[in-house]
Each structure stands twice: as C-alpha cells, then as structure tokens.
Amino acid sequence: MSVGVAALRAMEHGRPDRLFEDPYARRFLEASGGTDKWAAEPPPGGRGFLELMAGQVAVRTRFLDRALLDAAGDGCGQVVLLASGMDARPYRLGWPAGTRLFELDFPEVLRFKRDALSGGGAVPRCAHVEVAADLREDWPGSLRAAGFDPAIPTAWLAEGLLYGLPAEAADLLLADVTRLSAPGSALAADHAEDSPILRAARAAVSAELLGLWRGGPADPDAWLRGRGWAPVVRDIGEVSAEYGRPVPPAFDPALDGTGRGRLITALLR
C-alpha cells in the first residue's frame, strides 16, 4: 500500500496546482518497479484505485504536513512517524531548528527507502533517526533505545494506519502512544470508512490490498477523549473545499456506496 501512496504523491507533485511538493515519491515508485500494479483496470462500471484515492491522499498529505509543522513550531521537539512507509517528510519539509524525527517501520522498508534515496542528494532537514520496529511487538522499547525521550512533547503521525488495524489493536497503539507522550504532545492522523466502491477498486489491484481495511476505532473523537486527548475531527470533504479541491470520490456522499473520510488532530493536556 505504501508504494501506492508514493504513486499518488508523485501524481500530485506533477500537477501545476499541487497541494504539496514531494520530489522523492517518484524515486520510491521507480525503485519498486513503477505504477503498473496500481494502474490496474477499474472494476466494471467502477473507478480505479488511483482515481478514487488521488484526491484523498493529496488533501490528507497537505493537512498532515501542516499539522506536524504546527506542532513542531509550538514546542514538540520530537516527531514520530508510525509505520512511515514511503513518507519523505524528513527530507521535504522545513522543520524548525532542533527537531528530532524518528521514522518507525520494518527494517526492510527503511532499507528500501535508504537505497532509493542514495546518490540523489536527498538530505534530511532535521535530526533523522530510523527505528526498525514492528507495531505488533515492543516498538516503544525500540523507540526509547533509539534516543526517544518521553519527557519531551512529541508530535505523532498515524497516516493511513488506523483503518488498517482491528479496533483492539488501535486501542493498544493509542495506549502506548499516550504512555510515551508528555503534556503538550500532539497527534495527527486520518481515518476512513470502507465502502463497496473502494473494495471493488482494491480487489482489481490485489487480494492483499482488498484485505487492508480492518476498521480501526469506530468513533475517533470518543476514542481519543477516552485516553485524555482533546481531538478535532474534520470531514475530508470540508478540508478539500478549503484547498480548492472537490470531495475525493471515495468519500463523496453524492456517489452511491461511499464511506466517510476524516482528518484528525489532537492535543494531550
């Protein structure tokens, strides 16, 4: 899935009216073999995966970029990218001086990114620490061992992650994040409901992608408040309008069989 997101970010970067810049997405895509898999024929009478998800990924990337930079500027000296995938934020965003960013994912994912970016002049724009870890195991221990300090306010990113977790796993993840968070910490995330048109588009790509959606928290607002966070949950259509973009078709209520897409920020007091 993370390579599919790279394909969508590369598409957005190529637009003259792009919502963000990501010159590194193309490198990840080329290193993985290109867009053929993700550009699969759409299901009969439906839309393809790239068409459905392009608007959602563009808007959420812009939104989450801003949320993380605002948090870092407001005193969060640490940033943690959970299950970072093909995220190039260490390289493409202008982080405040002194920001320490921890990028957490499987060792093979981190190695792939390192290889894809080598020799091309990519330089992190912050203190960048790779943390090889599995969210199903003791990732907090790995994060601490890499130099993470729970006493420092932290900006956490959970992008494209929550809906890929069963509700119980999402609860455990949030419990760990909360235990590691000093007052003043921030969380930025997205959440999305599955729908018939999304399932059909994913099935046209692969059976593995079809099984991606696991549900996550049923009510993100109540879920975060229950752990002491103060969330703001916004509909992706509203944010899209602010950016001058139409509602992403995967979450357009005017279309039959769509779900709801949400963008989330939260503060720990």
pLDDT in tens, 184-194: 999 999 999 98
The letter for the amino acid at 266 is A
Residues 220-234 pLDDT 10s: 999 999 999 999 999
Kindly give, in sequence order, each residue whose CB lies less than 8 Å from that of residue 44, ignoring residues fewer than 6 positions away. none
Backbone angles phi, psi at 130, to 5 degrees: -85, 135
Q: How far apart are the first and last CA of the chain?
A: 34
DSSP-derived 3-state class of residue 70: helix
The pLDDT of residue 41 is: 59
Q: Is 250 within 8 Å of 52 (Cβ atoms)? A: yes
Question: Can you tell me which residue has the tokens 């920001």?
Answer: 99
DSSP-derived 3-state class of residue 234: strand
Kindly give, in sequence order, each residue whose CB lies less than 8 Å from that of residue 111, ignoring residues fewer than 6 positions away. none
| Whole-number Å distance between alpha carbons of 55 and 245 | 8
Residues 198-213 pLDDT 10s: 888 888 887 777 788 8
Higher pLDDT, 93 or 213: 93
Q: Is the pLDDT of residue 117 over 70?
A: yes
Residue 222 is encoded by which pair of tokens? 């109540």
- Nearest in space to 56 (alpha carbons), one of 209, 255, 191, 202: 191
Q: Is 178 within 8 Å of 24 (Cβ atoms)? A: no
The letter for the amino acid at 194 is D
Q: Is 190 within 8 Å of 266 (Cβ atoms)? A: no
Among 28-32, 169-173, 264-268, the minimum mean pLDDT is found in 28-32
Q: What's the average model confidence in pLDDT over 112-121?
A: 90
Residues 122-181 pLDDT 10s: 999 999 999 999 999 999 999 999 999 999 999 999 999 999 999 999 999 999 999 999
| Whole-number Å distance between alpha carbons of 39 and 34 | 10
Higher pLDDT, 98 or 120: 98
For 104, counting Cβ atoms within 10 Å of its Cβ (0-12 exposed, 13-18 middle, 19+ buried), the class is buried
Q: What's the average model confidence in pLDDT over 244-255?
A: 90
Q: What's the average model confidence in pLDDT over 22-40?
A: 78
Q: Is 32 within 8 Å of 6 (Cβ atoms)? A: yes
Q: Is the pLDDT of residue 95 over 90?
A: yes
- Helix axis angle for 2-13 and 49-73, nearest 10°, is 80
Using pLDDT thresholds of 50, 70 and 90, give the confidence band for residue 11: very high
